[in-house]
Amino acid sequence: MPEEQYIEPKGESGAEVAGDEPLIDLSQFSPKGDVLVIAEHILGDLQPVTLELLGAGRILADKMEKNLLCIVLGHNLGEMPRLLIEHGADTVYVADHEELKLYRTLPYRRVICDFLESLPEAPHTALLGSTTTGRDLAPRIAAHFETGLTADTTELDIGPYEHKSKVDPTKIGLYPNCLYAIRPSFGESLKARILGPWKNPQMATTRPGVMVPLPRDSKRKGEIKQVPVNLKEEDFRLKVKDIVREVSKGVKLADAEVIVAGGFGLGTAEGFELLKQLADCFENSAIGASRKVVDLGWIPYQHQVGQTGKTVRPKLYIACGISGAIQHRVGMSKSATIIAVNKDPDAPIFGFADHGIVGDVYQILPELIKQFKAAQDGKDSTQNLDNSGVKAVVGAH
């Protein structure tokens, strides 16, 4: 994916200079509001995207010299608030009520909107995950406060923005601390930087797997505060009768340290059996797939990696018969090491893979399986997945 081209600020003030216009002194401005992360859990199981958001939120808050807040809703949450502090939050707000044990749109919306209105100053930024819950809740909150919301972002930053458009004169001016919500656009071929500094909180949801959580610090100190819960009768128009959760077997894509992924180049659905043999060479591994083979029914959707699937960042990603279209690349390009196996030497994936093997996957993979097993020689299969170790294996071909 091409890198976004930013205009470098000129002058010590950081403001762009046009002709002989005087520089604008940004020192007179100070950021308003803290950074807020809205936590997500399922029956007390904290979702990884929340820890990722805390990592991203910590960077934004430090850049503005502000605090990182987090709010979590549920019932009998135990040590979860403390865990949020250990992963970067300065203050954790807890809304504990039996009616919040299961996620429902209206009760959650009520509690969060009441909480935000109770703060002496609106947060500068509010972040949620681009999950089923986040995509349902975020627009409700944004609509209530008539503020902007950027969905499905992959990068976040803080920076100055000078608005000069005369379409709405009330918005003309310098916004020294604007949330840069960046997401792919035009079929993932470009990056769109979306700004909405007109009103706080400036909101965004981020894709799971793209932000990096902070290491857990058990000595980190923070404050835990209780949030009053005042639900109304109209918040209970929806009743949850039963919950049916499909429990997938094996390691989840987001948690796997090694992913072996297949594409249309496998030729048939049976090709994934060979990929499973390769994945079995590693203890913490999973099977991935491109969208095309999922659409063909070769493998279920939960294995899909890419723009409309999962975003992953394993230690090792082995792409077999995958051309490397931008829609797939956006979901796996941040893997630590990428090995590509494809019979087309001009396949786009070779342009960003760390190591490439040109050849028939049905000839390459059996030998690759043998070489990986020999290289590991009974050791922990995920301990030595650095570039030198992989290079030694790939070099045999």
The token duo for 159 is 């920076």
What is the per-residue pLDDT for 227?
96
Separation of alpha carbons 343 and 237, rounded Å: 56
Over its C-alpha atoms, the chain yields an Rg (Å, rounded) of: 24
Max CA separation in the chain (angstroms): 69
DSSP of 181-245, one letter per residue? EEEEETTTTEEEEE--TTSSSEEEEE-TTSS-PPPP-TT---EEEE------GGGGSS-------
Got the DSSP string for 370-390? HHHHHHHTTS-TTTT-SHHHH
Provide the token pair at 354: 């760390």
Q: Which domains does the chain have, with CATH numbers?
A: 26-236 (3.40.50.620), 253-394 (3.40.50.1220)
Q: 146: which 2 tokens?
A: 């008539």
- pLDDT score at 11: 34
Task: Return the pLDDT at 9.
Answer: 37
Other CB atoms closer than 10 Å to residue 27's CB: what's the count?
10
CB atoms within 10 A of CB 315: 19
What whole-number distance in Å separates Cα of residue 278 and Cα of residue 264? Answer: 18
- In whole angstroms, what separates CA 105 from the centre of its chain? 22
User: Which of 249, 324, 260 is CA-nearest to residue 288?
Assistant: 260
> Distance (Å, rounded) from C-alpha 323 to C-alpha 344?
8
Check: CB of residue 59 under 8 Å from CB of residue 82: no
- Residue of 128, 68, 67, 79 whose CA lies nearest to 103: 128
Which residues fall within 8 angstroms of residue 19, CB to CB, at 6 or more apart? none
The pLDDT score that the predictor gives to residue 31 is 64
**Separation of CA 152 from chain center:** 8
Residue 86 has what pLDDT? 97
Which residues face 92 on adjacent strands? 70, 224
Distance, in Å, from the CA atom of 378 to the CA atom of 374, rounded to the nearest integer, reads 8
Per-residue pLDDT of the chain (397 residues; tens, 9 = 90+): 333 333 333 333 333 333 344 344 444 345 679 999 999 999 889 999 999 999 999 999 999 999 999 999 999 999 999 999 999 999 999 999 999 999 999 999 999 999 999 999 999 999 999 999 999 999 999 999 999 999 999 899 999 998 888 888 888 888 888 999 998 777 656 788 999 888 899 999 998 888 999 999 999 999 999 999 999 999 999 888 887 765 555 668 888 999 999 999 999 999 999 999 999 999 899 999 999 999 999 999 889 998 778 889 899 999 999 999 888 988 898 899 999 999 999 999 999 999 999 999 999 999 989 888 887 765 544 444 444 344 434 443 3
